[in-house]
Amino acid sequence: MSISIEHAQEVLRPPEDGLPYVRHDHAGELVLEGGSLTIEDGRVAGFGADELADVRIDASGCAVLPGLVDCHTHLPFAGWRAEEYELKVTGVPYEEIARRGGGIAASARALAAASDEEVVGQAHGLAAEMLAHGTTTFETKSGYGLSVAGELRALALAGWLAGEVAQTTRSTALLAHAVPEGYTADAWMDEVEGMMGEVVVGPASALDIYVETVAFANEHLARMGELARHHGLALRAHVEQFATHRSVPVALEVGARSVDHLACLDPDDLQPLAESECAAVLLPGAEFLGAERIAPGRELADAGAICVLGTDANPGTSPVVSLPAIVGLAVRRYGWSVREALLACTLNAAWVLGLSGELGSLEPGKRADVILLDGPALHVPYRLAHNPVWAVVAGGELTWVRPGWEERIRR
């Protein structure tokens, strides 16, 4: 199939082709100007109109962007934890909720009680919602199993989900999310090491760990880094969310691909992070809904970090699946430009997943993941809570069109 997207008010492109990422002090160099885009055989073919294309789309007045990449979600999971949100907004801290048996432990119980079909069915519905909001690639995580069998089941369900959705997915084994009942953190890490043989033959491309007072410590982060290195997997790390643990130097030492959250990042760790190829994944949905500290997004961008945004979609701290909403929060709370925010959920997010050579930007030869907006890019953060996406192309296929906009498409 060939698709011609014509007469766009704006087409977002990188400053040059072939970049694996763009540091945020260069985000202003992203090209955002009018033009057209052609797609052939699932790939971006060029930047002119094709009158002979199978499908022609009138993009007049619209922005054309690469499909959005959500590199931090906790799909698939079971159920929701709305009652915890009420506790949080009325003053109960997350750590206290966790100690009462809520938080990750509550989601683990829900996952254990749900059938495989129920878990994948819920995740499939959320993935469809994500697609309608422009997400053409997303990460999945385990982490709610809290047992060897439970974690391996969660990874298997992520693999099942990958075959059911229109999006590209990447699986992360969040094997150290919370310390299971009956274990110490050290003892659970022994179990993690023991299950690696089964993890590496599955869909996972990365390992992950949560460092926090209610979870794991820096010594466990270092151990997870060694496991990742030994088994040829990338390392991700949830760090500095509720308190400062100085986890970033440890993560950099063991070669982490990303450090995620960073609301409590120590100022001394900012510059080393910015100078590395370890991405700073910021999660403003969790910060906003949890009334957490705000990550130093402006400072990281100015220092030249590889900045990234994710929804942190999960049933507790960030039940959000819309990246346009996350862009709006980031622009307002971090003081970012629209180019900075869009870079953080396209090319740079693809870098975190090891996919930036294949997708994340509009370049000839790359996978044709493309979204069309109903106005200019500046409207994405400005019209907060409005879904600006009216059409989605995933892998060269027109996979979603907003009702009422079909007249712009000629076949």
How far is residue 388's CA from residue 383's CA, in Å, rounded to a whole number?
8
The answer to whether the beta carbons of residues 192 and 160 sit under 8 Å apart is no
Q: What is the pLDDT of residue 100?
A: 87
| N-to-C CA span, the chain | 11
Q: What is the pLDDT of residue 15?
A: 97
How far is residue 328's CA from residue 322's CA, in Å, rounded to a whole number?
10
Which residue carries 């209610």 as its tokens? 214
Half-sphere exposure of 200 (CA within 13 A, CB side): 14
Please work out, in degrees rounded to the nearest 5, the angle formed at the alpha carbon of residue 369 by the alpha carbons of 364 and 375.
105
10-residue averages of pLDDT along the chain (411 residues): 97 98 98 98 97 98 98 98 92 86 92 98 98 98 97 98 98 97 97 97 96 95 98 98 97 98 98 98 97 97 98 96 98 98 99 98 98 98 97 98 97 93
How far is residue 283's CA from residue 280's CA, in Å, rounded to a whole number?
10
Q: What is the pLDDT of residue 372?
A: 98
Crossing angle of the two packed helices 185-200 and 218-231, in degrees rounded to 10: 20
Q: What is the pLDDT of residue 155?
A: 98
Give me 358's structure tokens: 């294949």
- The domain 2-20+29-67+359-410 is placed in CATH, from the list 3.20.20.70, 3.40.50.300, 2.60.120.560, 2.30.40.10, at 2.30.40.10
**Where in the chain are the domains?**
2-20+29-67+359-410, 69-352
Sequence letter at residue 35: G
DSSP, residue by residue, 232-253 = T-EEEEEESSSS----HHHHHH
Residue 144's nearest CA partner among 82, 194, 91, 77 is: 77
Q: What is the pLDDT of residue 93?
A: 86
Which pTM does this prediction carry? 0.98
Q: What is the pLDDT of residue 95?
A: 82
Q: What are phi and psi of 96, to 5 degrees?
A: -70, -40
Q: What is the pLDDT of residue 298?
A: 98
Residue 250's nearest CA partner among 224, 283, 212, 281 is: 224
The CATH T-level fold of domain 69-352 is: TIM Barrel (3.20.20)
Residue 65's nearest CA partner among 124, 136, 125 is: 136
Please work out, in degrees rounded to the nearest 5, the angle formed at the alpha carbon of residue 320 by the alpha carbons of 314 and 322.
135
How far is residue 231's CA from residue 254's CA, in Å, rounded to a whole number?
13
> How many residues in total does the chain contain?
411
Q: What is the pLDDT of residue 267?
A: 98
How far is residue 303's CA from residue 300's CA, in Å, rounded to a whole number?
5
